[in-house]
């Protein structure tokens, strides 16, 4: 319904007639002779009313009583209320503005001024209502767009997960490792990361980041797809040349991540790349491929590195028998399997029982 009605609430008929005469050519007019009747007309015709001209002194219910009721119903901000008064009281005006009126009209009326004053406030409220409607529309559109973006991100994440699982299974199959290796790496990674989040908040880990790291950990050895079988499956010690080819699985794997993982999921991509490239770096700088030292190595590859080494120790490989879990733990803590961060080793010791429990849950754990 189009808003085109002005409600005049004034107990003096002559005053109502004068005000109605000013606006009759541009607006429909409703009249009430007291506040109670004015409230009723406003409620019944609210959708069509563009302004209310409200007297202060009236029988039955005065103007301030009307304002109190409009405030109670939260309506005073939805339509401009312009007060009519013959008083020049500062206290009256203060009270009116505190209730939320937009303007005062002082008697006697000067038609051009009154007409322009009321029209200005009607236009202002119409503009405000238009802006609010536009904001609501745009907000709804943004919310819908965000919903679609989240759905697309989730689809991309699921696509990545399927691809990663498939590629990881290919690596395990070629490496003649059990199908549980990647699963164990992920659960070990998550358990260690959760302890570090609580123990060392300076690393900035959160539940959300840990979940992404947990997913990205599956990609740590994807570069082994490029390693020839005669090296990957060699039961004895690798020659120096063969070891260089094996080491290249970190850099080749990160190149594959850059080529295949959707870049829209930036955090996921960064963790996959970092883990794949740097999970063989060592805290003393003697790792590969980049020779990073200390906390130059990201927290994610540091965590995955410990999980990977532990799993390699407690499971049988083509080149070694499995160590018992206690021995494996001590080998890592004693530095027999490379140099790790003292902080991470402290956390690793703290999750010992959890690691053993997770290992027991693995169907093919030795």
d(CA 338, CA 309): 9
With bands split at pLDDT 50, 70 and 90, how would you rate the model's confidence at 155? confident
Distance of CA 181 to CAs 191, 210, 344, 366, Å? 15, 19, 21, 12
Catalytic choice (2, 128, 224, 352): 224
Q: Which residues pair with 104 in a beta bridge?
A: 83
pTM of the model: 0.58
> Can you give the length of the chain in residues?
366
Q: Is 224 a catalytic residue?
A: yes
| Burial grade of 213 (CB within 10 A; 0-12, 13-18, 19 or more) | buried
> According to the model, what pLDDT value does residue 260 have?
65
Which residues touch 209 (CB under 8 Å, ≥6 apart)?
267
> According to the model, what pLDDT value does residue 174 have?
57
Q: Is the pLDDT of residue 365 over 70?
A: no
Q: Which residues pair with 5 in a beta bridge?
A: 28, 49
Q: Are 232 and 224 in contact (CB under 8 A)?
A: yes
Distance of CA 104 to CAs 65, 110, 140, 265, Å? 17, 13, 37, 58
pLDDT in tens, 281-327: 999 999 999 999 999 999 999 999 999 999 999 988 777 889 999 99
d(CA 203, CA 75): 51
Which residues touch 206 (CB under 8 Å, ≥6 apart)?
197
> According to the model, what pLDDT value does residue 90 have?
78
d(CA 275, CA 320): 25
Helix spans in the chain (H): 13-23, 35-44, 63-72, 90-99, 111-175, 181-199, 207-216, 229-232, 240-247, 249-260, 266-278, 299-314, 325-333, 342-350, 352-361
For the chain, give the mean pLDDT.
86
pLDDT in tens, 32-78: 999 999 999 999 999 899 999 999 889 999 989 999 999 888 888 88
Q: What is the dihedral of CA 34, 39, 44, 47, to 10 degrees?
A: 120
> According to the model, what pLDDT value does residue 366 have?
44
Structure tokens belonging to residue 226: 């490029």
Q: Which residues pair with 84 in a beta bridge?
A: 55, 105
Going along the chain from its start, the domains and CATH numbers come out as 5-109 (3.40.50.2300), 149-361 (1.10.3210.10)
pLDDT in tens, 237-256: 889 998 999 999 999 988 88
Q: Are 101 and 81 in contact (CB under 8 A)?
A: yes
* CA 180 to chain centroid: 33
């Amino acid at each position: 319904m189009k808003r085109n009605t002005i409600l005049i609430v004034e107990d003096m008929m002559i005053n109502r007639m004068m005000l109605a005469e000013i606006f009759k050519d541009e607006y429909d007019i409703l009249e009430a002779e007291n506040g109670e009747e004015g409230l009723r007309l406003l409620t019944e015709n609210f959708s069509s009313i563009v302004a209310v001209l409200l007297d202060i002194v009236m029988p039955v219910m005065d103007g301030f009583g009307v304002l109190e009721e409009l405030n109670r119903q939260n309506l005073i901000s939805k339509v401009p209320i312009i007060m009519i008064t013959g008083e020049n009281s500062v206290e009256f005006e203060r009270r009116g503005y505190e209730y939320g009126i937009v303007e005062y009209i002082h008697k006697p009326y000067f038609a051009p001024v009154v007409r322009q004053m009321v029209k200005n406030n009607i236009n202002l409220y119409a503009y405000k209502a238009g802006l609010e409607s536009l904001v609501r529309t745009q907000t709804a559109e943004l919310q819908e767009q965000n919903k679609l973006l989240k759905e697309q991100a989730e689809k991309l994440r699921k696509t990545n997960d399927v691809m990663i699982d498939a590629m990881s299974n290919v690596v395990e199959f070629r490496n003649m490792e059990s199908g549980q290796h990647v699963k164990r790496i992920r659960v070990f990674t998550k358990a260690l990361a959760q302890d570090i989040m609580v123990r060392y908040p300076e690393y900035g880990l959160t539940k959300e980041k840990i979940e992404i790291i947990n997913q990205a950990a599956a990609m740590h050895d994807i570069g082994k797809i490029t390693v020839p079988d005669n090296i990957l499956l060699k039961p004895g010690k690798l020659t120096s040349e063969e070891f260089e080819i094996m080491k290249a699985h970190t850099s080749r794997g990160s190149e594959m991540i850059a080529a295949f993982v959707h870049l829209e999921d930036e955090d996921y991509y960064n963790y996959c790349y970092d883990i794949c490239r740097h999970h063989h770096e060592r805290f003393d700088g003697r790792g590969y491929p980049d020779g990073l030292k200390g906390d130059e190595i990201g927290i994610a590859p540091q965590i995955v590195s410990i999980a990977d080494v532990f799993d390699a120790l407690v499971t049988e490989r083509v080149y070694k028998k499995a160590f018992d879990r206690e021995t494996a733990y001590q080998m890592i803590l004693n530095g027999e399997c490379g140099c790790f961060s003292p902080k991470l080793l402290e956390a690793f010791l703290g999750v010992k029982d959890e690691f053993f429990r997770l290992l027991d849950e693995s169907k093919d754990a030795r």
